[in-house]
Structure 1
Amino acid sequence: MTLAATDTMLTNAPSSAAVAASSAAPRVRDLRLDFFRGIAMFIILMAHTPGNFLTSWIPARWGFSDATEMFVFCSGMASAIAFGGAFKQSGWVLGTARVGFRVWQVYWAHLGLFIAIAALLAGFDFYGGYGKNYIGSLNLWKFFADPAVPLLGLVTLTYVPNYFDILPMYMVVLAMMPIIMALQRIHTGLVFAFMAAVWLGAQTSLWGDAHLALPAEPWSDRNWYFNPFGWQLIFFTGFALMRGWIPKPPVHIALIIVAALIVIANIPLSNIGVRAIARDWFFVTDTGNPVISARIALKPLIDKSDFGLFRFVHFLALAYLAWVLAGDKGDNLLARGTGILARIWGHALKIILKVGQQSLAVFVVSMFTARVMGFVMDQIGRTTGTTLLVNLGGAILLVATAYGAGWFKSQPWRRKA
């Protein structure tokens, strides 16, 4: 899943006074935003590693929504900071240019990621002897058998294999932002009307083959797995919250109870719940299993490709509980006291925040690393010890990527002695 820019906002030739004011009051990052994006990055790494038993404990196993929703929502909030100010300070045209530049960056990151992973899998298969066809593991047969059409589709985003569809989805959603900002200038209500209309148009259960979607490959009718016209709903919800178009919810015991009940009610219908029920642990009747039947009946509402409504509701409930627990501006996340546990948490928090701040670089590296981790475990086995060790190595690599990207972005070669 999905990634937002947190770059410095564009301005129109600011005066020296404006520069001084900007230097005196640097933009303050929201701890909650970087914290949950960082957590999502580690979850995404585990979720994309083949045969990783830790995926049994990620949020997706306990409810309808998962780390993809977390990351896309936080990306919408981060985009409100990075791009919303550009539209406000520099106007719609330069704001659109700012978004276009980010789309350009993500586009090349997408192409580079595909080529790197395709070369990696080709290398595994070329040297052989591993007892597995790695090109086939991501269904890249067509690309290697007859690359002309897939290559053209790759650069035009009409060939998007399932493993590589998060960044294209993000690009399309970003491209909608100028429309959102133009509508908001007329009336904020138009923004929400647009979001709802586009989301409804993307629902296969309502329109069948006529729903809004983008083709994933030239030789079949398959569409992008992450339909950007559906997923824009959660992205722009986070965007609207950060821009203040949606007021922040109050911390109230009644809302906490409702959110908790929604999360708990999802568990029997989650992957974990259905697996338990399928083993005849409970809820089995002479005519079948009503819980499994309910899960099947709810499929249009929990569909991941089109972003079903129940996924949205489940995520909002989780997000509210996390927002309450984190406290105002993330104060509850900060280490308290001077004990060893507080110091350990303080260092861990610093690392998580750094990973959340360097989202694009970390995401690209995580998708590549996940395939390497799967290959390593194919060779050394998937015992508890080896799996934990490989996951630890992958996590360390993500942290190193975050600090490395931050170092390069700071442009240390430009500092005066």
Structure 2
Amino acid sequence: MIAPAAMVATWNPEMNGERENRIDLLRGLSLLLIFIGHAEFTFSPTFQQSRGFSDASEVFVLLAGMSCALAYYRPYASLQLERPWKRALRLYFVHLILFAIMMTISAFVIGTFDQTAWPADMTDFWLDPLHHGLQALSLSYMPGNLDILPMYVVLLLIAPFAFLLHDRSKSALLGLSCLIWFVAGLGHINFPNAALEGEAWFFDPLSWQFIFVIGIYLGARMKCGQSVLSYNGPVFAAAAVFAIAAIPLNLAFHLGAVDSPFGELHHQLVSKINDGPLRIINVLAILYLAWNIRAVKATADHPAMRLVCAAGRHSLAVFSAGILLSFGAVVLMTLDPGMPIALQLLLLAIGCALQLAIGWMLEVRRTARVGAASYGLRRAI
């Protein structure tokens, strides 16, 4: 298909190699917040509910969609399978490595300390390791916190088709994605996961693809040099009111201080499995505010935030480290249920520091490679 002249004129191919620091900053912060939730400190549940109806997961998936478009989208190109699918394959192998490490640690803890209180999704694996191991290869046995990368595998597999439909009709892409999200949520359509009590993925890809596709739409606009989330006074005010009001409201609902006006429907509206509508509205409001508050841009570009931005830039390695570190924290919390808050905060600080250090080391290595390549090019010229 021949690209329209208007699209050719606005496409910014250099955006392929650029980084939007706000994306890196928000991704880096999200990784640290995800670690706090996964570590299962005594304060983790309340902390998770103190940021509104959505949490770091929505922010991360939305930004992942934007980053996916910035990295792989080519306006009006043919079906682009190779790069997104290679990335998906890499995530799959990283997931299997994390699974193997966590199962090995769980075997050691169960065998050494005889932890009958160990989470069921860990102990059940060793009741039939061969069967569950084969299930793990097919992504149908994933203990808690291990179905996040598989969700990204699915999202990256559908990304090329989202690009293709995007170039034919943006409305059709968003409409179809919304329809799939609605039907999957209403019908509780999900992939099987034998490790969890509900026997389904904790992050249903059929539901979470909607926020990812919204990210693809926004990222494609950025890739083509078009405005993204432009400032509008009434929209900004509405986003601010919603995002701010959601914090005390959700916390009050969580603590049981007040009853939700939605009654039994409330669970569906804030469902994390199906990425309920209140969660989606909340994360879109947060992103809109972040994109239109100058202080956020200034903070993202400030040298003091380099560590956090580096973590967001190398999200796979930092996320994987965070999974293992949070699992280590869970092990320690299991062995010492009465661990003092001060010690929990120390573990939190150490975990965050290690993730930031990993991101920084990878960024230094990347910068060195880029510098060496530039030097070689100058020598060749």
For the structure 1 residues 249 and 384, does the alpha-carbon distance in structure 2 shift closer, same or farther, using more than 3 Å as the test? same
Quote the Cα distance in structure 1 between the aligned partners of 2:45 and 2:124: 29
1:231 aligns with 2:208: yes
Question: Match for residue 12 of structure 1?
Answer: none
Quote the Cα distance in structure 2 between the aligned partners of 1:213 and 1:274: 27
* Amino acid across the alignment from 1:186: R
Per-residue Cα deviation, 1:135-186 (whole angstroms, up to 9, x for no partner): x325223311111221111101122233211111111111111211221232
1:388 aligns with 2:345: yes
* Amino acid across the alignment from 1:36: L
Quote the Cα distance in structure 2 between the aligned partners of 1:123 and 1:148: 18
Query: RMSD of the TM alignment (CA)?
Result: 3.0
Question: Match for residue 399 of structure 1?
Answer: 356
Quote the Cα distance in structure 1 between the aligned partners of 2:107 and 2:368: 35
Unpaired runs of 5+ in structure 2?
A: 1-12, 377-381
Question: Match for residue 255 of structure 1?
Answer: 235
Are the counterparts in 1 of residues 39 and 326 from structure 2 also a CA contact under 8 Å?
yes
Per-residue Cα deviation, 1:322-351 (whole angstroms, up to 9, x for no partner): 2222458x235444xxxxxxxxxx33x010
Deviation at 1:265, TM superposition (A): 3.6
Question: Match for residue 283 of structure 2?
Answer: 315
Question: Match for residue 36 of structure 1?
Answer: 26
Q: Paired residue for 1:154, among 113, 116, 136?
A: 136
Question: Match for residue 125 of structure 2?
Answer: 143
Structure 2 counterparts to residues 16-415 of structure 1, below 5 A:
27-53=17-43, 56-58=46-48, 60-84=49-73, 87-88=74-75, 91-93=77-79, 95-128=80-113, 132-133=115-116, 136-137=118-119, 139-203=121-185, 206-207=186-187, 211-217=188-194, 222-244=199-221, 248-270=228-250, 272-278=251-257, 291-292=259-260, 294=262, 296-326=264-294, 330-335=297-302, 346-347=303-304, 349-377=305-333, 378-379=335-336, 382-407=339-364, 409=366
Quote the Cα distance in structure 2 between the aligned partners of 1:37 and 1:251: 22
SS for the counterpart of 1:64 is coil
Quote the Cα distance in structure 1 between the aligned partners of 2:137 and 2:282: 35
Are the counterparts in 2 of residues 153 and 218 from structure 1 also a CA contact under 8 Å?
no
Quote the Cα distance in structure 1 between the aligned partners of 2:88 and 2:276: 26
Are the counterparts in 2 of residues 47 and 55 from structure 1 also a CA contact under 8 Å?
yes
Unpaired runs of 5+ in structure 1?
A: 1-21, 284-290, 336-345
* Amino acid across the alignment from 2:50: R
Deviation at 1:54, TM superposition (A): 5.3
Deviation at 1:405, TM superposition (A): 3.2
Quote the Cα distance in structure 2 between the aligned partners of 1:325 and 1:118: 44
Per-residue Cα deviation, 1:67-114 (whole angstroms, up to 9, x for no partner): 000110111111111111xx449x434x21111100100000111111
Quote the Cα distance in structure 1 between the aligned partners of 2:244 and 2:197: 40
Quote the Cα distance in structure 1 between the aligned partners of 2:346 and 2:239: 36
For the structure 1 residues 409 and 124, does the alpha-carbon distance in structure 2 shift closer, same or farther, using more than 3 Å as the test? farther
* Amino acid across the alignment from 2:95: H
Deviates more, 1:390-399 or 1:256-265: 256-265
* Amino acid across the alignment from 1:234: I
Deviation at 1:379, TM superposition (A): 4.4
Quote the Cα distance in structure 2 between the aligned partners of 1:53 and 1:105: 34
Question: Match for residue 7 of structure 2?
Answer: none
Deviation at 1:30, TM superposition (A): 0.6
Are the counterparts in 1 of residues 121 and 196 from structure 2 also a CA contact under 8 Å?
no
Are the counterparts in 1 of residues 53 and 278 from structure 2 also a CA contact under 8 Å?
yes
SS for the counterpart of 2:153 is helix
For the structure 1 residues 326 and 173, does the alpha-carbon distance in structure 2 shift closer, same or farther, using more than 3 Å as the test? farther
Per-residue Cα deviation, 1:49-69 (whole angstroms, up to 9, x for no partner): 1224255334x3342100000
Deviation at 1:200, TM superposition (A): 1.8
* Amino acid across the alignment from 2:213: F
SS for the counterpart of 1:164 is coil
Are the counterparts in 2 of residues 269 and 295 from structure 1 also a CA contact under 8 Å?
no
Quote the Cα distance in structure 2 between the aligned partners of 1:118 and 1:402: 25
Which structure's CA Rg is the greater one? 1
For the structure 1 residues 66 and 127, does the alpha-carbon distance in structure 2 shift closer, same or farther, using more than 3 Å as the test? same
Are the counterparts in 2 of residues 64 and 266 from structure 1 also a CA contact under 8 Å?
yes
For the structure 1 residues 80 and 155, does the alpha-carbon distance in structure 2 shift closer, same or farther, using more than 3 Å as the test? same
Deviation at 1:195, TM superposition (A): 0.8
Quote the Cα distance in structure 1 between the aligned partners of 2:159 and 2:278: 25
* Amino acid across the alignment from 1:228: P
Question: Match for residue 13 of structure 1?
Answer: none
Are the counterparts in 2 of residues 41 and 362 from structure 1 also a CA contact under 8 Å?
yes
Deviation at 1:275, TM superposition (A): 4.8
Quote the Cα distance in structure 2 between the aligned partners of 1:57 and 1:323: 24
Question: Match for residue 4 of structure 2?
Answer: none
Quote the Cα distance in structure 2 between the aligned partners of 1:101 and 1:195: 23
Quote the Cα distance in structure 1 between the aligned partners of 2:196 and 2:232: 53
Quote the Cα distance in structure 2 between the aligned partners of 1:146 and 1:276: 39
Are the counterparts in 2 of residues 46 and 55 from structure 1 also a CA contact under 8 Å?
no
Quote the Cα distance in structure 2 between the aligned partners of 1:220 and 1:317: 33
Quote the Cα distance in structure 1 between the aligned partners of 2:350 and 2:247: 31
Are the counterparts in 2 of residues 138 and 163 from structure 1 also a CA contact under 8 Å?
no
Deviation at 1:371, TM superposition (A): 1.7
* Structure of greater relative contact order (alpha carbons < 8 Å, 6+ residues apart): 2
Quote the Cα distance in structure 2 between the aligned partners of 1:406 and 1:175: 27
